[in-house]
Structures are given as structure tokens and as C-alpha cells.
Amino acid sequence: MTETRSVVTGGAGFLGSHLCERLLADGHEVVCVDNFGSGRRENIATLRDHDSFSVFEADLREEPELPPTDEIYHLASRASPSDFTDFPVQIALTNTRGTKYLLEHAVEHDATMLFASTSEVYGDPEVHPQTEGYNGNVNIRGPRGCYDESKRFGETLAVAYHEKYGVDVRTIRIFNTYGPKMRADDGRVVPTFLKQAANGDDLTVYGSGNQTRTFCYVDDMIDGIRDVMRCEALAGDVVNVGGQNEVSIRTLAQTVLEICDTNSDVVYEPLPQDDPTKRRPDVTKAQRLFDWSPSVGLMNGLRRTLKSFEKPQDGTIG
Ligand code: UDP
């Protein structure tokens, strides 16, 4: 039997590298496509010796000649709000031009594609929790617009290619996810707080800290991504995947202080523009279609992440 060949764009990134590892464990041949902008070589260092693993260094915006494939997991795109100021054009084009290019590749090779969309398509939501049917509240011209709006258009392209060319493309809306292999300097709240606590620095809570998020441990998210690719009923469709335990950022800070042996305190800094006030996915559809629910609790997940950060190969804190 020949192996399923899976192309993972953003394969050296946080989620991408975990996904490559899982696909190899599942017996796939894996082609990791990355331009190493935010992806890191150390994330895939342990996979390099695997016979079924290869790295294709390229930028999707330049439409590289990718190999034929059975599956495409399109995860490429910087996803940290702190990158939106420095890389707005790159982000906007990776999620639009890059997505169009991969959809064409899927047509050509009759591949199944997973498009990694985001909770950001809901913007600062007026519907809570967020269901897939909610159309969102995005500031198209604001600082998050390059990411939010390009993911939204990526979804539109996915629907168009499904309708027009019959491409089997499934869209997953990924909510806040954390775990080993995130960059300690990534800018997102979990690695930032863990790094600050480990260094004895004060934790920088933005705004009042009353804004809420759910946090999904990476292993649960990778389960969800694999489930979406296996779920035939999702051809051309979209599904939310994300944590269920909604916490305020202030509570997250307290939790990090509890698990880290630290003298750190909390300091309050201005809230960035358009920072969503609340966020929690309605995952009824994921539960119904593929029986998904997260299994790793926040304390446990934070401890695992902290431990991994102490190992040099996962990015030393400091
Ligand atoms: N945040 C914070 N301090 C930080 C980094 C982030 O209080 O040092 C807040 C941020 O304002 C947001 C939440 O934590 O309300 C989650 O931010 P993150 O950048 O991780 O992801 P987002 O959900 O905004 O995409």
C-alpha cells in the first residue's frame, strides 16, 4: 500500500510542526512547506531523520512548484497579533493568494484540502458563544484586519472552489491554542506570561484583564485537525474547534502565577485596539460530527508548556 502524502504549509510553525509529527506517527509521507518566517528549524529537528519526512523551503506567495499530493493542510500564516503591525501585507497575501494557489493545486491533483481559519473571523463578537453561522464583527480597516479579513476571504475562496470545481476543502476555525513549540517571544498571551513568570518579571495584563478567551492545549487541537480531515461530511463546510473553559485574562495571569514559583506580580498596560472583549466557540457541530471535545485542562496544559520551555530544543525562556 502506498503512503498517503500530506503537504503541511507552515509545517515548521507551532501547530504545523505538531501536525507533521502526528501525520508521520499515523504512517503518512509528510512534506513540510515553510518559508521559516515565523516557523523554526528546531521545531522539526527531530523529524528530519524520518524517511517519510521532507522539507520544502518556499514562500506560498511566490507559487512554488509543489509536489503532487493527496492531502493539503494549509496552516501557513503568522497568527500572533503582535506580528500584524510588522507583516500585514505578507499575512494578507499568504491567506489569499497562497490559499488560491493551494486550491488550484488541489484541483490539479484531486487532493483534499484543510484550510486553517480562525476565531478572528468573528472579530469582537456580538454573539456568544460563537456558532459557525455567526457572520462576525470585524473592523476591516483596523490593525487586525490583515489577518481577520484575509482569513475570511480565504474561506470565501474555499467555498468558491468547492462550488465551481468540486474541490473537497474543509475549513476549521481554530480558537486560541497553546503548548510546547510556541516561541517564547511569540507575543501571544500564554508564552508571554510563562516567560515573564519564569524570569521573575511582572505579567503584563492588557486593559482591565476582564476580556475572556478559551485556551485549547495543542494535542487536543491536533486531534481536531485530524478529525476534520477524516470527516467526509465536512467537504466544503466549516467547523469551530477550541477550548470550552472560558477564563478572563486576569484569571489566566493568576493561574500562571500559581503554577510558577515566582516573585512576579501583575501590571496593567493599555488594551490594544480591537482586542475582542470575549471569545468562546460553540463546538456542538464538532461534537456531533466527530465527537470532539478537549481533554487537557488549563493547569495541566500550562505545566506541560512551561516544562517544555525549559528544554533548549523548544526555545529557552529568556
Ligand atoms: N494579552 C495580555 N497580555 C499580553 C499578551 C496578550 O493581556 O502580554 C491579552 C490580549 O490583549 C488578549 C488576550 O490576552 O485580550 C489574548 O491575546 P493573544 O495575543 O494571545 O491572542 P488573541 O486572542 O488576541 O488573538
- Asked if residue 105 has pLDDT above 90, the reply is yes
Q: Is the CB of 204 under 6 A from ligand 1?
A: yes
Q: Distance, CA 68 to ligand 1 centroid (Å)? A: 38
Residue 270, in any domain of the structure: no
Q: Distance, CA 188 to ligand 1 centroid (Å)? A: 6
Q: Is the CB of 143 under 6 A from ligand 1?
A: no
Q: State whether the Cα torsion 177-178-179-180 is positive or negative.
A: positive
Q: Is the CB of 192 under 6 A from ligand 1?
A: yes
Percent of the chain with pLDDT over 70: 97
Amino acid at 39: G
Whether omega for the bond prior to residue 64 falls within 30 degrees of 0, making it cis, is no
CB distance 239 to 230 below 8 Å: no
Q: How far is it, in rounded angstroms, from Cα 174 to Cα 18?
A: 15
Protein residue whose Cα sits closest to atom 16 of ligand 1: 189
212-223 pLDDT, tens per residue? Answer: 999 999 999 999
User: What pLDDT is attached to residue 310?
Assistant: 83
Residue 164, in any domain of the structure: yes
Q: Distance, CA 222 to ligand 1 centroid (Å)? A: 22
Residue 318 Cα distances to 4, 79, 118, 198, 306, angstroms: 40, 22, 29, 8, 13
Angle among Cα 43, 118, 40 to the nearest 5 degrees reads 15
Q: How far is it, in rounded angstroms, from Cα 296 to Cα 302?
A: 10
pLDDT range class, residue 312, cuts 50, 70, 90: low
Q: How far is it, in rounded angstroms, from Cα 136 to Cα 131?
A: 10
- Report the DSSP pairing between strands 212-214 and 246-248: antiparallel
Percent of the chain with pLDDT over 90: 96
Q: How far is it, in rounded angstroms, from Cα 224 to Cα 240?
A: 9
Residue 209, in any domain of the structure: no
- Active-site residue, from 122, 147, 178, 217: 147
Its domain, for residue 56, covers: 5-178+216-242+280-294
Residue 269, in any domain of the structure: no
DSSP 8-state symbol, 137: B
Amino acid at 159: V
CB distance 104 to 219 below 8 Å: no
The residue that leads in pLDDT, 163 or 318, is 163
Protein residue whose Cα sits closest to atom 3 of ligand 1: 205
CB distance 225 to 114 below 8 Å: yes
138-186 pLDDT, tens per residue? Answer: 999 999 999 999 999 999 999 999 999 999 999 999 999 999 999 999 9
| Nearest in space to 35 (alpha carbons), one of 86, 113, 98, 92 | 98
Average pLDDT of span 120-140: 98
**Which ligand 1 atom is at minimum distance from the Cα of 120?**
25
- Report the DSSP pairing between strands 5-9 and 29-34: parallel
How many domains is the chain built from? 1
Q: Is the CB of 176 under 6 A from ligand 1?
A: yes
Q: Is the CB of 268 under 6 A from ligand 1?
A: no
User: What pLDDT is attached to residue 116?
Assistant: 98
Q: Distance, CA 272 to ligand 1 centroid (Å)? A: 9
pLDDT range class, residue 313, cuts 50, 70, 90: very low
Residue 196, in any domain of the structure: no
What radius of gyration, in Å, describes the C-alpha atoms of the chain? 19
| Residue 206: active-site member | no
Q: Is the CB of 249 under 6 A from ligand 1?
A: yes
Average pLDDT of span 184-212: 97
| Nearest in space to 78 (alpha carbons), one of 39, 45, 32, 42 | 39
Angle among Cα 79, 303, 254 to the nearest 5 degrees reads 80
Grid cell at residue 248: 478572563
CB distance 182 to 14 below 8 Å: yes
CB distance 147 to 202 below 8 Å: no
Q: Please state, rounded to an integer, the average pLDDT across all residues of the chain.
A: 96
Q: Is the CB of 118 under 6 A from ligand 1?
A: no
Q: Is the CB of 277 under 6 A from ligand 1?
A: no
Amino acid at 211: Q
The residues, ordered by sequence, that sit 6+ positions from 141 with a Cβ below 8 Å of its Cβ are: none
User: What pLDDT is attached to residue 316?
Assistant: 41
Amino acid at 239: V
Average pLDDT of span 233-260: 98
Residue 206, in any domain of the structure: no
pLDDT range class, residue 261, cuts 50, 70, 90: confident
CATH number of the domain residue 100 falls in: 3.40.50.720
Q: Ligand 1: which of 188, 211, 250, 251 to mutate, judged by most atoms within 8 Å of the beta carbon?
A: 188
Residue 272, in any domain of the structure: no
Q: How far is it, in rounded angstroms, from Cα 59 to Cα 46?
A: 23
Average pLDDT of span 72-101: 97
Amino acid at 312: P
The residues, ordered by sequence, that sit 6+ positions from 36 with a Cβ below 8 Å of its Cβ are: 12, 57
Q: Which of 1-5, 54-58, 298-302, 309-313 has the lowest mean pLDDT?
A: 309-313
Q: Distance, CA 305 to ligand 1 centroid (Å)? A: 17
